[in-house]
Copies of this chain bind each other. A is one copy, B any other.
Amino acid sequence: MDQTQHPHVVVVGGGFAGLTLARALAGKALHVTLIDRENHHLFQPLLYQVATAGLSPGDIASPIRSVFSGKPNVRVLMAEVVDVDHERREVVFADGPGLAYDYLVVAAGAETNYYGNDGWKEHSFGLKSIRDAVQIREHVLTAFETAERETNEDRRRELLTFVVIGGGPTGVEMAGAISELGKHTMKRDFRVVDPTQIRVVLLEMADRVLLPFHPSLSDEARKQLEELGVEVRLGVKVTDVGDHYVEVDGERLPSAMTCWATGVKPVALAAALGAPLERGRVVVEKDCSLTRDPKVFVLGDMAHFAPEAGGRPLPGVAPVAMQQARFVARAIQRDLRGLQREAFQYRDKGFMATVGRSRAVLEAGKIRMAGFVAWLGWLFVHVIYLVGFRNRLVVTLNWCWSYLTFRRGSRLIAQRHSDASLNALHERRSDHPLNRVA
C-alpha cells in the first residue's frame, strides 16, 4: 500500500490543531493528508469581527491548499469524514470509499450547543462558521435599515434591540462590537434612528462575565461593556428563545437578532470514534491518543484531556489545540525513531478577551490587565497568529483604518432577507418621518 515506506498520517480537520500538525509534519519523511469539510482554515477568534462588519470573510479565512502550496508531502482534500473503520484502518467519507491511514489524527472541532433546546436554533445565530457570521452581519444591518423606515417609535426600538446569550469571550466580544457598530454608523449615516435607540443586552447565567478570568477582570469587562452601552444581566436564566424574542426568567425581551454564544459541543464524529466520551468530548490518554489505539489521536475541542485524573479537562481554545498538535507531531516522529513518547503538558500562557475599541482584559499567570495596553496586547497576538502574510497585512490595515475613522469596512448585505417576521415587527405609516421632508 505504501510504495515508499513512508507512513501515511491522515488528519481530519483543518482548524488550529489540524493545520498546526500538518505544518509541523511538512517536509518530514511522512505522507500527510489533511481533510476538511470546508476549503478554508478559519481564524475563529476574529469571527465576531466578520459578524459585526469590521472584517471581510476572506480576511480571516485562508484556503487550506494555499497554506501547503510548497509542501509536496502534504495533500489537502475537501471532504466530509463521517466514520472511522478501526479494523480496516480507514476513514470513511460521506460520499465515497475510505482512505487508509497508518496514523490518524482527529481534530474536527466543535459546533454550537443548544443543550437540548434545538427549537431555539432557528430563532438565533451561533458563531462558528463564515456562514454564521455573514448571517448575523446581514440581519443586524437589515434591522438597522428596517428601523430607519419604521414610523412607530416603540417598534423602532424593538428593531434596534439585540440580545446576546452567554457572557464568555465570544458573547462579550459580540455584545461590545454590535454596540460599537450601531453607535458609530448611526451617528453619521442614518437620519431617523440615532445611537441612543440601540439596545444590546448580554445575558449570563453566572454572577459574572468571562468566568475563566479572575473576578476582578470580570468586573472590569462588565464595566467596559457598560461604558459601551451594553446592558449586562448576570445571574439570569433564558427560559425561551422564539421568533424575535428571548424570554429571561419569564420576562420577554424583543430581539431583532439573537446571538447564541453560550457553548459548544464536539461535532458528531466524536461519538463515531468508538471511544469513551466525557460531556461529548473523546477521553484521551496522556499522549493524546485513544486507549484502544495509540496510533489514533484526538486533539483540540473534540478531546477531553484531563491533566489530573478525574480533574477538569483543558479548555477548548486555540493554544491548547496548537500545543497538542505540536506535541503529536513530535510523538509520531519519536515513534518512527523507536523512542518512547512523552506525556503532553499544557503551558498556559494566559488568555484575553476584547470588549471593544481600546478595551480588553488580559490574564497571564499573576499578570492581570485591563484597558488600552491589554487591547494592544490582544491586537498584537491576534495579528501574529493570523495565517498568511496577506491576511495579516489586510487585517492590520483594516484595523488601523477603522481605528482612525471609526468606520466599518464591510457593511455589506449580499443576500436579501425576506424576513417576514422582522417585517411583522415593522409597520410603515404615512406619517413616517421620511415622508415628512425635513
Those of A33-81 within 8 Å (CB) of chain B? 33, 37-40, 56-59, 61, 63, 65-66, 68-70, 72, 75-79
- A390's partner among B2, B38, B390, B401 (CB-CB below 8 A) is B401
- Are A438 and B131 also in contact (CB < 8 A) when A39-B413, A58-B412, A70-B188 are? no
Distance A172 CA – B99 CA, assembled complex (angstroms): 41
A421 located at the interface, meaning its Cβ lies under 8 Å from any Cβ of chain B in the complex: no
User: Is B435 a contact of A99 with CB atoms below 8 Å?
Assistant: yes
User: Is A412 a contact of B149 with CB atoms below 8 Å?
Assistant: no
Distance A149 CA – B58 CA, assembled complex (angstroms): 24
- A39's partner among B59, B141, B397 (CB-CB below 8 A) is B141
- Are A190 and B148 also in contact (CB < 8 A) when A33-B434, A131-B414, A412-B58 are? no
Distance A407 CA – B57 CA, assembled complex (angstroms): 17
* Residues on B with beta carbons closer than 8 Å to the beta carbon of A435: 97, 99-100
A394 located at the interface, meaning its Cβ lies under 8 Å from any Cβ of chain B in the complex: yes
Which of A272-280, A353-361, A377-385, A423-431 is found at the contact surface with chain B?
A423-431
Interface 0/1 of A1-43, CB less than 8 Å to B: 1111010100000000000000000000001010001111000
A95 located at the interface, meaning its Cβ lies under 8 Å from any Cβ of chain B in the complex: yes
A349 located at the interface, meaning its Cβ lies under 8 Å from any Cβ of chain B in the complex: no
* Residues on B with beta carbons closer than 8 Å to the beta carbon of A434: 33, 75, 77, 99
A411 located at the interface, meaning its Cβ lies under 8 Å from any Cβ of chain B in the complex: yes
A367 located at the interface, meaning its Cβ lies under 8 Å from any Cβ of chain B in the complex: no
User: Is A412 a contact of B191 with CB atoms below 8 Å?
Assistant: no
Distance A390 CA – B31 CA, assembled complex (angstroms): 43
User: Is A39 a contact of B437 with CB atoms below 8 Å?
Assistant: no
* Residues on B with beta carbons closer than 8 Å to the beta carbon of A70: 188
Those of A153-209 within 8 Å (CB) of chain B? 185, 188-191
Distance A394 CA – B430 CA, assembled complex (angstroms): 42
* Residues on B with beta carbons closer than 8 Å to the beta carbon of A407: 66, 390
A130 located at the interface, meaning its Cβ lies under 8 Å from any Cβ of chain B in the complex: yes
A154 to chain B, nearest CB (A): 18
Q: Please name 18 further chain A to chain B contacts, defined as beta carbons within 8 Å, in addition to the given A39-B411, A77-B434, sorted by A numbering.
A: A3-B438, A6-B437, A8-B437, A39-B413, A40-B413, A56-B58, A66-B188, A66-B189, A69-B189, A78-B148, A96-B432, A99-B434, A100-B437, A129-B414, A130-B414, A394-B394, A394-B397, A397-B397
